[in-house]
C-alpha cells in the first residue's frame, strides 16, 4: 500500500480534516488543510514526482528541506520544496525534471 | 537590564531555551526559524489547521515545551520571526569585534532583512545521515527523520510494511511513531553489534541515570516494540533496496563489528517503505560562514579497535557555549548529537551568556551540569553506535553516491585515486558530486569519508549561501527590521526545565 494519513477518527491527537484540492500537472488531487504538498502527493499514491538527470524518479527523501529531491513548481514559482510548503486550496503544481530532453531543469537559483 | 539585542537562529529545543534565558537576562531577542511553528525536530508541532485537541499524545515533554514556547513567543521583548530563513552571515571588517550581519528572508512572499545583533546564538540543529547502498535512491526509501517528521508533523505514515534500519537509538522513536500511526513495522535493524552497543551503554551506568528523561523514553520505546512484537535485530544492516520505480523489497544481511557483510546471511524482505538513518550530520553552513572553529566529534570507535569511521566535525564551544568568533554562541545538535535535554541545557547557557547575564549565576550551575551530562551521553552514543569502517563494501561500482548528480561509487573512487584531483574542489568538478541542488548536504559526509586519505581542503560545509535565494530577491534592497522593543529593568535568572 501507499503512504496514507492516519484516519481522522482514530487519531489520538484529535484533529479535524478540512478538505482541499490542488492540481498536479492538471490532475486534481484532494488533501486536507495543513498537509504539506509532499504529504498530499504521497497520500494520493504518488511516491515520486520529479526526475533526476538520468530520468530516475525522485520524491521525498529527507522530509525536512535538506535533500531537494522533492522540488516542484507551485503556481509558477519554481524549485519549491514540496516537503516544506503547505498545500493551499487551488495550488497548481507542476512537476520538474532534470533529465536531458525534458523541458525543465530543477536547479534552484542561487 | 542588559539592553543587548540577541538574535537566535533556530527555535528547536536549543534555540527556544536560548531565547528564554536571554529574555530572562533582560535582552531584546529576535528568534528566527524557517518553520511556521516553534519546536524544531523534537517538538515538531501539528499544523494549526488540524486544530488538534490532544497534541501532547504525540511527543514526550509536550507540556513543558508548550509552557516555554508560550512564555517566549508572548514575551514583550521577543520578536518571533516564523517562516524566516537565515541565508547568509556576513562577517564585518577585520577590526570590528562583533558578531556577523544576519541576512534573513522572511515570510511569503519573502522579504529581505539584515540584522545587526550584539550577540548571535546559532541553534540550527542537524539532519539525518544516510550511508548509500544500492537502491537507496528508489522512491519509498526515506530517511528515518523524514518518516518521523511526516508521522509526527502531519499524521502521515509512509507505508504499511516498513523496515526501520541503520544505527542509533533514534530508530526506536521512529518505529514507535509508525506503530502508533497504525503501520506494520516488520523489523528494526540495528547495524551495531550487541557487544559494542552494550559496551557503550553500560559503561559508567551512572551517566545514564543522570539522563533519566532519555532512558525513560528509551524504555517506553522498547516496550512499544515488544507489545507489537517487532523484531529488533542487532548486527544486521540493509545492504540493498530493489524495485521497479519504487522500493518493493530490501536485502538485509548480518554484519561484523566493522560492518562488513557475513556472506550467506542475506535475506530478502518485501516492504512498501524503508526508513534509514546512520546518525546525524550537524548543519554547519552558518557556523562555518561565521568563521567558527570546528572540532572532531567524540570518536566513534571503541578504543583500540578499528571498528569506527572517523567522526564528523561539530562547532567547538567553551564552557559558556562561546564559539571561537566573538559574539557568536552555539547550542544543540551543531555542537554534538546528544538529544533534546542536552540541547535545552546548552541553549540555556548560551542565551544567558549571550545576553550578558552574570556568568556566576546560581542557575547556570545546574544548566552547566545538565549540559555536561548531555555531553557525556553524546560520547556514549558515539561509542555505542559507531559507523563501521567497512560499509563501502555494500557499494557496487554503479551505486549512486550523490543523489542530485547521480555520481557513482566508481566515479568517486576514480577521482580519489587521481593525483591531479586531490584538491576537493577539483574532485567536485570532476565527479559533479555535491554540485546539485542539495549542494552536498546529503552526500558530503560520504564523499569526504570515501576520499578521506586524499582530502586536505575545506569540507562539505563550506557554502557561502546557506539557503537558496532567488536572484530577484537578492537584487532588491533589504528592508529595515521593525524597531527595537523597550528592554525591561528586571533580569531574572535563566530558567531550567525538567529533562522529561
Ligand atoms: C527529521 C528529524 C526528526 C527528529 N525527530 C526526533 C524525535 O522524534 N525524537 C528525538 O529524540 N529526536 C529527534 N530528532 C533528533 C533532534 O535533532 C534532537 O533531538 C533535537 O531536536 C535537537 O535540537 P536542536 O535545537 O539542536 O535542533 P532542531 O530541533 O533541529 O532545531 C533547529 C531549528 O533550526 C531551524 N533552522 C535551521 N536552519 C535554519 C536557517 N538557516 N534559518 C532559520 N531557521 C533554521 C530549523 O527549522 C529547526 O526548527 C530528529 C532529528 C531530525 C533531523
Ligand atoms: S524531501 Fe528532502 S527537501 Fe523535501
State the angle between helix axes of B13-24 and B340-354 in degrees (0 to 180), rounded to the nearest 10: 30
pLDDT score recorded for residue A110: 33
Q: What are phi and psi of B274, to 5 degrees?
A: -130, 130
Does pLDDT of A90 surpass 70?
A: yes
Characterize the bridge pairing of strands A77-81 and A4-5. unpaired
**Is any atom of ligand 2 closer than 6 Å to the C-beta of A50?**
no
pLDDT score recorded for residue B304: 40
Distance, CA of B87 to chain centre: 18
Query: Cβ B438–A16 below 8 Å, yes or no?
Result: no
Cα diameter, chain A:
48
- What is the CA(B43)–ligand 1 centre distance, in A? 8
Query: Cβ A60–B142 below 8 Å, yes or no?
Result: yes
Q: What is the DSSP letter of A5?
A: E
CB-CB neighbors (< 8 A) of A43 in chain B? 156
Q: What are phi and psi of A31, to 5 degrees?
A: -145, -165
**Which run of H or of E encompasses B186?**
strand B184-190
CA dist B491 and B471 (Å) reads 43
ipTM: 0.92
Residue A68, chain B, CB below 8 Å: the answer is: yes
Ligand closest in space to the Cα of B146 = 1
- What is the CA(B302)–ligand 2 centre distance, in A? 34
CA dist B332 and B18 (Å) reads 10
Residue B444, chain A, CB below 8 Å: the answer is: no
Ligand 2 atom with minimal separation from the A70 CA: 4
Query: Cβ B150–A39 below 8 Å, yes or no?
Result: yes
Cα diameter, chain B:
71
Q: What are phi and psi of B175, to 5 degrees?
A: -60, -40
CB-CB neighbors (< 8 A) of B47 in chain A? 33-35, 86
Q: What is the DSSP letter of B97?
A: -
Judge if the upstream peptide bond of residue B109 is cis by omega within 30 degrees of 0: yes
Task: Count CB atoms within 10 A of the CB of residue A23.
Answer: 13
**B234: Cβ contacts below 8 Å, ≥ 6 apart:** B190, B192, B193, B194, B197
Cell of B121: 546564538
Query: Cβ B437–A71 below 8 Å, yes or no?
Result: yes
pLDDT score recorded for residue B490: 46
Distance, CA of B268 to chain centre: 31
Q: What is the DSSP letter of B249?
A: E
Per-residue pLDDT of chain B (500 residues; tens, 9 = 90+): 568 999 999 999 999 999 999 999 999 999 999 999 999 999 999 999 999 998 988 888 899 999 999 999 999 999 999 999 999 999 887 667 789 999 999 987 789 999 999 999 999 999 999 999 999 999 999 999 999 999 999 999 999 999 999 999 899 999 999 999 999 999 999 999 888 787 777 666 666 666 666 667 777 887 888 888 888 999 999 999 999 999 999 999 999 999 999 999 999 999 999 999 999 999 999 999 999 999 987 655 444 444 566 667 899 999 999 999 999 999 999 999 988 999 999 999 999 999 999 999 998 999 999 999 888 888 888 888 889 999 999 999 999 999 999 999 999 888 877 666 656 666 677 778 888 888 888 998 888 888 775 444 445 566 667 777 777 777 788 887 665 444 444 445 565 544 33
Q: Which of the pair, A11 or B378, is modelled with greater confidence?
A: A11
Query: Cβ B154–A35 below 8 Å, yes or no?
Result: yes
Q: What are phi and psi of A63, to 5 degrees?
A: 70, 0
pLDDT score recorded for residue B299: 58
CA dist A18 and B89 (Å) reads 40
- What is the CA(A76)–ligand 2 centre distance, in A? 19
H helices present in B155-267, as ranges = 171-180, 194-202, 205-209, 212-227
CB-CB neighbors (< 8 A) of B186 in chain A? none
Query: Cβ A62–B471 below 8 Å, yes or no?
Result: no
CA dist B201 and B199 (Å) reads 6
Cell of B188: 528494526
Give pTM, 2 decimals: 0.91
Task: Count CB atoms within 10 A of the CB of residue B195.
Answer: 13
- Strand-pairing partners, residue B172, are none
**Is any atom of ligand 2 closer than 6 Å to the C-beta of A79?**
no
Give the residue among A33, A15, A5 at the shortest CA–CA distance from B51: A15
Q: Whose CA is nearest to atom 6 of ligand 1?
A: B42
Helices (H) and strands (E) in chain B, counts: 14, 23
- Strand-pairing partners, residue A31, are A20
SS (H, E, C) B285-335: HHHHHHCCCEEECCCCCCCCCCCECCCCEEECCCCCCECCCCCEEECHHHH
SS (H, E, C) chain A: CCCEECCHHHCCCCCCCCEEEEEECCEEEEEECCCEHHHHHHHCCCCEEEECCCCCEEECCCCCCCCCCCEEEECCEEEEECCCCECCCCCEEEECECCCCCCCCCCCCC
B/e letters for A60-92, b = 16+ CB within 10 Å, e = fewer, are bbbbbbbbbbbbbbbeeebbbbbbbbbbeeebe
pLDDT score recorded for residue B407: 92
Q: Whose CA is nearest to atom 49 of ligand 1?
A: B40
Do the Cβ atoms of A64 and A82 come closer than 8 Å? no
Characterize the bridge pairing of strands B267-270 and B126-128. unpaired
Q: Which of the pair, A99 or B41, is modelled with greater confidence?
A: B41
Q: Which parts of B362-412 are beta strand (E)?
A: 400-402, 407-408
H helices present in B181-272, as ranges = 194-202, 205-209, 212-227
**Is any atom of ligand 2 closer than 6 Å to the C-beta of A56?**
no
Residue A10, chain B, CB below 8 Å: the answer is: yes
Do the Cβ atoms of B112 and B104 come closer than 8 Å? yes
- Strand-pairing partners, residue B6, are B29, B119
Ligand closest in space to the Cα of A63 = 2
Q: What are phi and psi of B126, to 5 degrees?
A: -140, 170
Query: Cβ B442–A13 below 8 Å, yes or no?
Result: no
**Is any atom of ligand 2 closer than 6 Å to the C-beta of A59?**
no
Amino acid at each position: 500500500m501507499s503512504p496514507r494519513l492516519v484516519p481522522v477518527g482514530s487519531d489520538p491527537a484529535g484533529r479535524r480534516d478540512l478538505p482541499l484540492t490542488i492540481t498536479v500537472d492538471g490532475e486534481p488531487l484532494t488533501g486536507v488543510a495543513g498537509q504539506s504538498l509532499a504529504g498530499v502527493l504521497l497520500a494520493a499514491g504518488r511516491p515520486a514526482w520529479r526526475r533526476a538527470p538520468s530520468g530516475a524518479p525522485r520524491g521525498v527523501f529527507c522530509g525536512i528541506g535538506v535533500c531537494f529531491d522533492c522540488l516542484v513548481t507551485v503556481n509558477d514559482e519554481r524549485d519549491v520544496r514540496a516537503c516544506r510548503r503547505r498545500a493551499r486550496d487551488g495550488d497548481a503544481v507542476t512537476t520538474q525534471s532534470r533529465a536531458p530532453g525534458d523541458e525543465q531543469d530543477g536547479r534552484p537559483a542561487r | 537590564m542588559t539592553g543587548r539585542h540577541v538574535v537566535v537562529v533556530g527555535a528547536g529545543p536549543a534555540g527556544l531555551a536560548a531565547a528564554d534565558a536571554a529574555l530572562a537576562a533582560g535582552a531584546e531577542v529576535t528568534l528566527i526559524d524557517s518553520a511556521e511553528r516553534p519546536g524544531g525536530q523534537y517538538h515538531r508541532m501539528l499544523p494549526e489547521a488540524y486544530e488538534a485537541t490532544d497534541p501532547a499524545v504525540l511527543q514526550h515533554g509536550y507540556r513543558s515545551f508548550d509552557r516555554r514556547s508560550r512564555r517566549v513567543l508572548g514575551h514583550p521583548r521577543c520578536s518571533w520571526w516564523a517562516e524566516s530563513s537565515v541565508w547568509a552571515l556576513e562577517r564585518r571588517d577585520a577590526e570590528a569585534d562583533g558578531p556577523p550581519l544576519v541576512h534573513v528572508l522572511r515570510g511569503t512572499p519573502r522579504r529581505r532583512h539584515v540584522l545587526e545583533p550584539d550577540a548571535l546564538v546559532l541553534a540550527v540543529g542537524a539532519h539525518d545521515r544516510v550511508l548509500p547502498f544500492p537502491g537507496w535512491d528508489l522512491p519509498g526509501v526515506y530517511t528515518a527523520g523524514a518518516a518521523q517528521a511526516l508521522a509526527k508533523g502531519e499524521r502521515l505514515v509512509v507505508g504499511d510494511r516498513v523496515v526501520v534500519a541503520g544505527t542509533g537509538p533514534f530508530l526506536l522513536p521512529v518505529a514507535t511513531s509508525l506503530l502508533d500511526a497504525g503501520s506494520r513495522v516488520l523489523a528494526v535493524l540495528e547495524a551495531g553489534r550487541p557487544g559494542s552497543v552494550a559496551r557503550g551503554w553500560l559503561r559508567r551506568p551512572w551517566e545514564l541515570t543522570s539522563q533519566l528523561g532519555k532512558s525513560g523514553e528509551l524504555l517506553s520505546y522498547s516496550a512499544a516494540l515488544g507489545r507489537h512484537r517487532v523484531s529488533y535485530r542487532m548486527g544486521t544492516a540493509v545492504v540493498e533496496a530493489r524495485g521497479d520505480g519504487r522500493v518493493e523489497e530490501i536485502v538485509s544481511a548480518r554484519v561484523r563489528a566493522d560492518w562488513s557483510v557475513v556472506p550467506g546471511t542475506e535475506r530478502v524482505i518485501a516492504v512498501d517503505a524503508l526508513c534509514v538513518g546512520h546518525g546525524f550530520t550537524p548543519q554547519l553552513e552558518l557556523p562555518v560562514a561565521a568563521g567558527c572553529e570546528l572540532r572532531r566529534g567524540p570518536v566513534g570507535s571503541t578504543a583500540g579497535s578499528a571498528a569506527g569511521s572517523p567522526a564528523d566535525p561539530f562547532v567547538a564551544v567553551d564552557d559558556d557555549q562561546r564559539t571561537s568568533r566573538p559574539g557568536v554562541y552555539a547550542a544543540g545538535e551543531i555542537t554534538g548529537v546528544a538529544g533534546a535535554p542536552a540541547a535545552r541545557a546548552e541553549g540555556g547557557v548560551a542565551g544567558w551568556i549571550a545576553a550578558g547575564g552574570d556568568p556566576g549565576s546560581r542557575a547556570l550551575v545546574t544548566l552547566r551540569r545538565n549540559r555536561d551530562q548531555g555531553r557525556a551521553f553524546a560520547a556514549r552514543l558515539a561509542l555505542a553506535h559507531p559507523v563501521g569502517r567497512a560499509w563501502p563494501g555494500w557499494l557496487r561500482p554503479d551505486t549512486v553516491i550523490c543523489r542530485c548528480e547521480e555520481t557513482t561509487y566508481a566515479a568517486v573512487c576514480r577521482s580519489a585515486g587521481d593525483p591531479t584531483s586531490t584538491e576537493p574542489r577539483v574532485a567536485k568538478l570532476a565527479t559533479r558530486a555535491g554540485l546539485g541542488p542539495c549542494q552536498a548536504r546529503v552526500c558530503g559526509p560520504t564523499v569526504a569519508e570515501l576520499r578521506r586519505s586524499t582530502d586536505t581542503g575545506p569540507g562539505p560545509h563550506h557554502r557561502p549561501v546557506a539557503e537558496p535565494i532567488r536572484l530577484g530577491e537578492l537584487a532588491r534592497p533589504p528592508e529595515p527590521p521593525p524597531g527595537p522593543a523597550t528592554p525591561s529593568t528586571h533580569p531574572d535568572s535563566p530558567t531550567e526545565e525538567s529533562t522529561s
